[in-house]
């Protein structure tokens, strides 16, 4: 891999991590779509460069936030579904 390709991987990992963090709280599906390739691109590159390490960390944070957001969404949906059933059973 030449120097130009390595720089592209560094920058793409960093940018995908930033985009993943921004969307992890809004639309977790977009965060998954950005952070997984960003993490793979960062891991493919050696960790000698600061921006690669930062990209890996940002992608891991984005994936974690998106996962937490997804779990909270599922829990809220299930809770809402069962609260509607309980209300209809009381009537």
Q: How many domains does the chain have?
A: 1
- Please, are residues 52 and 45 in contact by the beta-carbon 8 Å criterion? yes
What's the pTM value of the predicted model, to 2 decimals?
0.83
Residue 1's pLDDT band, with cuts at 50, 70 and 90, is low
Work out the average pLDDT over 54-81: 94
Chain centroid to Cα 38, Å, comes to 9
**Residues contacting residue 65 through CB under 8 Å, at least 6 positions apart:** 21, 24, 25, 31
Range of the domain at 22: 3-90
Does residue 90 have a pLDDT over 90? no
């Amino acid at each position: 891999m030449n120097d130009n390709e390595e720089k592209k991987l560094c920058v793409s990992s960093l940018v995908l991590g930033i985009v993943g963090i921004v969307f992890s709280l809004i639309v977790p599906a977009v965060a998954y779509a950005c952070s997984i390739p960003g993490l793979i691109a960062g891991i493919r590159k050696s960790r000698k460069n600061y921006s690669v390490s930062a990209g890996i960390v940002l992608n891991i944070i984005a994936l974690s936030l998106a996962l937490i957001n997804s779990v909270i969404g599922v829990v809220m949906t299930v809770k809402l579904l069962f609260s509607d059933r309980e209300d209809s059973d009381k009537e």
